[in-house]
Structure 1
Amino acid sequence: MDLRQLKYFIQIAECGNLSRAAEVLRIAQPSLSQQMRNLEGELGVDLLVRHARGVTPTEIGLQLYDHARRILQEVERTREVIRSQSLTPSGRVSVGLPTSACRGLSLPLIKAMAVRQPNITLHIVEAMTGYIDDFITMGRLDVALLYDHKAFEHVAWTEMMAEDLMLFVPPDHPLVRKASVTFREMFDLPIVLPGAPNVMRTVIERFAARHDVSPKAMACDSLPAIARMVRERLALAVMPHFAFGDELARGEMVAISIHDPTPSWRLSVVVSQRTMNPRGSEAVAEVMADVIAQMVDAGLWRARLLTERGRP
């Protein structure tokens, strides 16, 4: 049994058809069939059930599929570890970006990485902050941008900036004439927030508890859905200014300041100390910090920098 056979078996199991698997692998189907017969003969078990529609892994075949995937993932991680020891950062680095920042940050980050670290391959993962927190501590992500991050043992962070939260309303809403709303008044309106345990919900509830306010709000974990709710006048959204930059530019929404108090949070660039590519991860974190600082300085990201590290 060798790695090539495991790769072939995984592709067959995922395609459910020898012909399709052969096309994906770019090998002749008879050769692929022979490789599987050799593998079954070596192991002394049937790995696939052949039928008119294609093939299906047997119960033992499903066990091999799980083991084979883990083996090939470890081989790839080992390759990245060795590559990362070179003087020039290289290899694959997974980057977690919260939904409210991904749209605006991902493209500038990709462009900057292409210029400054062309040997690094980015894998950008968009998710709500609570999930990114878990992924970074488990080592499933190498680098992340986090709001109000938790101080976990296996991560290092650089606190970048503070960002105020705002109320987003349709352009014809009566609040547009006022240009601001108090934190207490805001909850007399139909508000939508991400659901618990999202950091946005936690921040709002923490501010509410301090000021004896009952934060009644609908829950929605989809940023596009929240934007549509605002556009269709079903609810008003609480988000950072950066989250709806495109909608603001198109005149689909207006951002209203919140005061007494103004809810805010802090953003940090976080690096997992469980990363298999420490040199590459540090390089990505440095570029991300620089890109963020440049966007804040240029007025593209409405926030207050807290550190000089992100400045070029």
Structure 2
Amino acid sequence: MELRQLRYFVAIMDHGSLSRAALVLHVAQPALTQQLRQLEEELGAQLLHRSAQGVSATDAGRLFYQHALAILKQVADARAAVAQSTGRPSGSVTLGLPHSISGALALPLLTAARARYPEITLQLTEEISGNLIEQLKSGRLNLAVLFDDGQPGQFAATPLVEEDLMFICRSGSALAPAGAAVSLRDALASHLILPAQQQGVRPQIEQVARAAGLSLENIIEINSIAILRSALLADIGATLLPLAPLLADVQAGTLRAWPVHSPQVARKVTLCASKNIPLTNAAGAIGRLVREVTEELCAAGNWPGARLAH
């Protein structure tokens, strides 16, 4: 198996046809077809379905595509690590952010990266945390912001912030607490909309609830912040989330937020990297910048509900 075969296969997948991939790669189509056939023979599996409309991936093809992307990225990172100097890092860095973090961190980080490291191309990807974990394991991400649920870490992790979870619902909702705060017991007894198990804040809520002798029942599971927000505005239920991803609605008065007590619930946000894949100088520089930007946001009060973790 050769790297060019991986590049050819990825190009065919990305462009949806052999002819378009051949044009982009500046390779004759018969030669491209031959390389694809050799790759399939070596793997012992058909990777693509061919038709007059183009190509589509088989199940084996979709699986191999993810591995090919990860391998090509690691090769590019290795070349960049050798070529770049520590004084002037350059190259491409891919950072993964959960949906509920990107609103607070993405734009300030992009602005700081452009000013500090103009020769680094910072690529941000926004996913649910479970997808970020898999991409970081495979090497498709250099870095990812993840949540620490207290379990032994499989990544090299640097603490960033702790965020308090708030009880949030539509203004004027019948679910709104009567007081200035709400107990965790009462919050869990409400109609809650939360991410699915093992996603986002859910593991932390489950862990704190078990320790307090409480349980979660009748949960509506939504993994998208945008859809969850729409459900809150439609008064389908309430949620337990940090303030940041819904701050604009809370400030506008369409949503309201209450602190949770007895006990409080907070999540720890960490910056993670693979223990097995070395960081390039550029990725290391972006990692340090993430920590700097986080400190500045907290000091200025621009990451509501967050405090620096130690």
Q: TM-score range by the shorter chain?
A: 0.7 to 0.9
- The SS at the match of 2:260 is strand
Aligned twin of 2:306: 303
Q: Is the 8 A contact 1:192 1:219 kept in 2?
A: yes
Q: Is the 8 A contact 1:271 1:285 kept in 2?
A: no
Aligned twin of 1:310: none
Are 1:184 and 2:185 an aligned pair? yes
Provide the rounded CA distance (Å) in 2 between the counterparts of 1:250 and 1:81: 46
**C-alpha displacement at 1:125, in angstroms?**
2.1
- The SS at the match of 2:189 is coil
Shifted more, 192-201 versus 130-139: the winner is: 130-139
> Larger Rg: 1 or 2?
1
**C-alpha displacement at 1:201, in angstroms?**
1.6
Provide the rounded CA distance (Å) in 2 between the counterparts of 1:171 and 1:23: 56
Aligned twin of 1:117: 117
Aligned length: 298
Provide the rounded CA distance (Å) in 2 between the counterparts of 1:236 and 1:152: 31
Match of 1:225 among 224, 227, 230: 227
Aligned twin of 2:203: 202
**C-alpha displacement at 1:110, in angstroms?**
0.6
Match of 1:237 among 236, 239, 242: 239
Do the aligned partners of residues 236 and 306 (structure 1) sit closer, same or farther apart at CA in structure 2, a change above 3 Å counting?
same
Aligned residue identity for 1:305: L
Do the aligned partners of residues 35 and 258 (structure 1) sit closer, same or farther apart at CA in structure 2, a change above 3 Å counting?
same
Do the aligned partners of residues 193 and 67 (structure 1) sit closer, same or farther apart at CA in structure 2, a change above 3 Å counting?
closer
Provide the rounded CA distance (Å) in 2 between the counterparts of 1:8 and 1:68: 10
Provide the rounded CA distance (Å) in 1 between the counterparts of 2:160 and 2:49: 55
Aligned residue identity for 2:240: V
Shifted more, 172-181 versus 162-171: the winner is: 172-181
- The SS at the match of 2:301 is coil
* Percent identical residues: 30
Aligned residue identity for 1:207: V
Provide the rounded CA distance (Å) in 2 between the counterparts of 1:211 and 1:108: 37
| Structure 2 stretches lacking a partner, 5+ long | 42-46
Match of 1:269 among 265, 271, 296: 271
Aligned CA-pair RMSD: 3.7
Are 1:82 and 2:82 an aligned pair? yes
Match of 2:28 among 23, 26, 32: 32
Provide the rounded CA distance (Å) in 1 between the counterparts of 2:63 and 2:134: 27
Once the two structures are superposed, what CA deviation does each residue of 1:73-116 show, in whole Å capped at 9, x if it has no partner? 55424322323455322212221212210122111111110011
Aligned twin of 1:163: 163
Do the aligned partners of residues 37 and 215 (structure 1) sit closer, same or farther apart at CA in structure 2, a change above 3 Å counting?
closer
Do the aligned partners of residues 211 and 87 (structure 1) sit closer, same or farther apart at CA in structure 2, a change above 3 Å counting?
same
Once the two structures are superposed, what CA deviation does each residue of 1:129-160 show, in whole Å capped at 9, x if it has no partner? 3443444344432222222254435x333222
Match of 1:286 among 285, 288, 291: 288
TM-score with structure 2 setting the length: 0.79
Provide the rounded CA distance (Å) in 2 between the counterparts of 1:63 and 1:177: 52
Aligned residue identity for 1:183: L
- The SS at the match of 1:187 is helix
**C-alpha displacement at 1:298, in angstroms?**
1.3
Aligned residue identity for 2:28: L
Aligned twin of 2:260: 258
Aligned residue identity for 2:106: S
| Structure 1 stretches lacking a partner, 5+ long | 308-312
Q: Is the 8 A contact 1:163 1:303 kept in 2?
A: yes
**C-alpha displacement at 1:184, in angstroms?**
0.9
Shifted more, 16-25 versus 229-238: the winner is: 16-25
Q: Is the 8 A contact 1:161 1:303 kept in 2?
A: yes
TM-score with structure 1 setting the length: 0.78
